[in-house]
Amino acid sequence: MAPAFILTVIFKYIPMYGVIIAFKDFSYSKGIWGSDWVGFKYFEKFLNAPNFEAIFMNTLKLSLYGLAFGFPVPIILALMLNQLRRQGVKKNVQLMLYAPNFISVVVIVGMVFIFLSPTGPINKLILLFTGHPVNFMSDPGYFRTVYIVSGIWQAAGWSSIIYVAALAGVDPELHNAATIDGANLLQRIRSIDLPTIKPVMAIVFILSAGGIMAIGFEKAFLMQTALNLPTSEILPTYVYKVGLKSGDYSYSAAIGLFNSIINVILLILVNFVVKKLNEGEGLY
């Protein structure tokens, strides 16, 4: 117990205390406590910054679109996998679909750069059809699409595990009875399989919606190029740049805190809404 608790205090709770530098003019010589209070100066600075709206909307759009497309795919995949009757085939298909989950984000982004480069394999195909190569990585218009599609490619299989397991619990007698009543497969999926996994869907949805503003810093950061910044600059990458690149600790901490607070509010809000829609079944 002790080691975990001490580590949590040092690396989680002390930084939470350290967050007060967002309200101070942090300087090394004075330390966290000794630095001068400046109140909401840095929050106002960020809210009035010319790039605030762009960065905020980028973060919101990237996550919302990511959730809108990334959430249903694993569910559909699980429903499809569930229809494979031969267990051996099912196991092998799952084995292959899960594999990309184990590839690191650096390698995934590296592969994205290789495949989508103006001379890469995808553009060779595009050339065949249209004659014009598309420069995906330097066109801000493609950033979100590339980010989300590669994300689904990597994670959809793995995310379907939890639904596949829930579907395994469906009583086959229900399906038999419905078949006798003349329901076809799609109707049975809609009225037997889907309701079975609904509670799992609710939990997964709350968790991912709560993390909406906490989208992966790493992938967006790696996918950034000088030219796609108009859409690829998001709050976490901006925090990193302001804080560790320019050394503006207090400003960066303020932006980070702003981001965390929106997260917590969203989590509470989504949990509340899902609870209402889901007959009182929420996460808490």
Within 114-173, which residues bind another protein (CB under 8 A)? Answer: 114-115, 121, 124, 153, 157-158, 161-162, 165, 172
* Cβ at position 144, least distance to another protein in Å: 19
Residue 280 within binding range of another protein, rule CB under 8 A: no
What residues numbered 7-26 form the site for another protein, per CB under 8 A?
7-8, 10-19, 21
In the complex, minimum distance from the CB of residue 39 to another protein, in angstroms, rounded to a whole number: 18
Least distance (Å) between residue 86 CB and another protein? 10
Burial of 240 (0-12, 13-18, 19+ CB in 10 A): middle
Quote the tokens at residue 199.
Answer: 């509670």
Looking at the Cβ atoms of 114 and 227, the one nearer to another protein is 114
Amino acid at 118: P
Report the SS3 class of residue 277.
Answer: helix
* Sign of CA pseudo-dihedral 139, 224, 98, 161: negative
Question: Residues 258 to 277: which contact another protein by CB under 8 A?
Answer: 259-260, 263-264, 267
What is the smallest separation between the CB atom of 147 and another protein, expressed in angstroms? 14
Question: Would you count residue 38 as binding another protein (CB under 8 A)?
Answer: no
* Total residues in contact with another protein, by rule CB under 8 A: 79
Binding mask 68-107 for another protein (x = CB under 8 A): ---------x--xx-xx--------x-xxxxxx-xxxxxx
CA distance 269 to 9: 28
With b for 16 or more beta-carbon neighbours within 10 A and e for fewer, the 19-58 pattern comes to ebbbbbebeeeeebeebeebeebbbebbeeeeebebbbeb
Please state, in angstroms and rounded to a whole number, the distance separating the CA atoms of residues 110 and 218. 13
Restricting to residues 216-235, name those near another protein by CB under 8 A.
Answer: 217-218, 222
111 lies in the binding site for another protein (CB under 8 A): yes
Residue from 244, 269, 276, 281 in contact with another protein (CB under 8 A): 244
- Interacting positions 45-64 with another protein (CB under 8 A): none
Q: Bridge-partner residues for 267, per DSSP?
A: none
Q: How far is the CB of 68 from another protein (least distance, A)?
A: 20
Q: Is 31 left (phi over 0), alpha (psi -120 to 50) or beta?
A: left
Is the Cβ of residue 163 or residue 231 nearer to another protein in the bound state? Answer: 163
Residue 160: count other Cβ atoms within 10 Å of its Cβ.
Answer: 24
